[in-house]
Amino acid sequence: MNIQFLTDPHGRLIWASPVLPGSTHDLTAARTHGIIDALTSRVIACYGDKGYVGAGGAIGTPYKRRKRS
């Protein structure tokens, strides 16, 4: 199962998506449900894990630091 959740800074549930198959990538699921567009159009800052890299807009994701030389 792939269910997308939005919570407030205190961890309280704001929204939960309908269920998609578990094989659905997180970024695909977020786009399917319109989460990326909704957050970006309202300029709401949001943070996601590595599954959301490439989402763009107002979605912050972790980044890999450069390897030391």
Digit-coded pLDDT (tens) for 15-24? 999 999 999 9
Expressed as residue numbers, the domain containing 14 is 5-60
Residue 16 identity? A
Does a structural domain hold residue 37? Answer: yes
Hunting for tokens 């030389």 — which residue is that?
A: 69
Strand partners of residue 47: 60
Does a structural domain hold residue 69? Answer: no
At 35-69, the pLDDT tens digits run 988 888 888 888 899 999 988 877 889 887 788 87
Q: Are 6 and 29 in contact (CB under 8 A)?
A: no
Does a structural domain hold residue 22? Answer: yes
CA of residue 7 relative to chain centroid, distance: 11
Entry pTM: 0.79
Does a structural domain hold residue 9? Answer: yes
Does a structural domain hold residue 31? Answer: yes
Domain count, the chain: 1
